[in-house]
Amino acid sequence: MIDKKIISLEQVTKQFGDLFALREISFEAREGERIALLGPSGSGKSTLMNLLTRTLQADQGKIELASQNIDKYVNQKEYAKLVGILRQQFDLVNNLSVINNVLVGRFNEWGTFKSLLSLFKTQDLKIAQLALKKVGMSDKINEMTANLSGGEQQRVAIARLLVQDPKIILADEPVSSLDPNNARIVLNLLNQLVREDQRTLIASMHSVDLSLEFFSRIIGIRGGRILFDKKTDEIEENILKELYEVKKDE
Ligand SMILES: Nc1ncnc2c1ncn2[C@@H]1O[C@H](COP(=O)(O)OP(=O)(O)O)[C@@H](O)[C@H]1O
Ligand SMILES: [Mg+2]
């Protein structure tokens, strides 16, 4: 089977005033790929993620999701069917139980969810329960989300993604605030989720080691440009060194 193209960036540039956060970035992602964005602090990783999550708009160039220009997804629901976002600060609703946080994924937005809270069908509950089981949180279904540890909250956020069922998952440093053990658990779950349904994952990452372990392709970004874009098993030590090298003239 030939994997389908799901994300495409062509000559994408983003400026903040005179500063070029991203310069003429081009790449394509196919279904099933797990892509890590690596690069020193300030290289443009978050800016790139923010363009894909539509938090920011590109100044130049073209971004397509599932062969349609990203700006054409005017309907938030249509976008949410395609794209799921896992945030660094877990954006769960703190004063809501775990199961209800997961159910929010069925409705893509908090407003709709609140108005439908009383109308959940057994079917919805079953889907949410199954998702929580998959991330190993079955025993905490009725716990208040605020009482969970960071790692547990990130697992609940993944369960919510499962329920939302998007084709693409975007995550800006999803495990940076977790200890190594929890980071592994979360990345394992993300991997599983992506592999099971041939989804596409793009995550900006702080840790080189975790990127090499959990991702199939690595894009190195430096100074707003792509320094390399390679399959993980083709990555060599010297290119990683160059990525993080401190140069005087920059
Ligand atoms: N909202 C903003 N306003 C001005 N400059 C910004 C803004 N967001 C990011 N930048 C700048 O753009 C560059 C890239 O930042 P960012 O994408 O956050 O990098 P990374 O995530 O790789 O650390 C940095 O120089 C940063 O200071
Ligand atoms: Mg960042």
pLDDT tens digits for the chain (250 residues)? 567 999 999 999 999 999 999 999 999 999 999 999 999 999 999 999 999 999 999 999 999 999 999 999 988 888 988 999 997 666 787 888 899 888 887 766 555 555 556 556 677 888 899 999 999 999 999 999 999 998 999 999 999 999 889 999 999 999 998 899 999 999 999 999 999 999 999 999 999 999 999 999 999 999 999 999 999 999 999 999 999 998 766 6
Residue 36, SS3?
A: strand
Atom of ligand 1 nearest to the CA of 204: 21
How far apart are the C-alpha atoms of 156 and 169, rounded to whole Å? 15
Strand pairing report for 34-38 and 83-86 = unpaired
pTM, 2 dp: 0.92
Q: Are the CB atoms for 10 and 72 separated by under 8 Å?
A: no
How far apart are the C-alpha atoms of 134 and 232, rounded to whole Å? 27
How far apart are the C-alpha atoms of 181 and 168, rounded to whole Å? 25
Tokens of 53: 């999550």
Q: Are the CB atoms for 30 and 229 separated by under 8 Å?
A: no
- Rg of the chain in Å (alpha carbons): 18
CB neighbourhood size of 174 (10 A): 25
pLDDT given for residue 109 in this prediction: 56
Among 122, 125, 106, 126, which Cα is nearest to 114's?
106
* CA–centroid distance, residue 162 to ligand 1 (Å): 30
Q: Are the CB atoms for 66 and 82 separated by under 8 Å?
A: yes
Question: Order of strands across the sheet with 60-65?
Answer: 19-30, 5-16, 60-65, 68-69
* CA–centroid distance, residue 175 to ligand 2 (Å): 12
Minimal-distance CA residue to ligand 1 atom 2: 16
Minimal-distance CA residue to ligand 1 atom 3: 16
pLDDT given for residue 238 in this prediction: 96
Strand pairing report for 60-65 and 5-16 = antiparallel
Testing ligand 1's pocket by substitution, the residue of 13, 14, 15, 46 carrying the most ligand atoms inside 8 A of its CB is: 46
Q: Name every protein residue with a CB atom under 6 angstroms from any ligand 1 atom.
A: 16, 19, 21, 39, 41-47
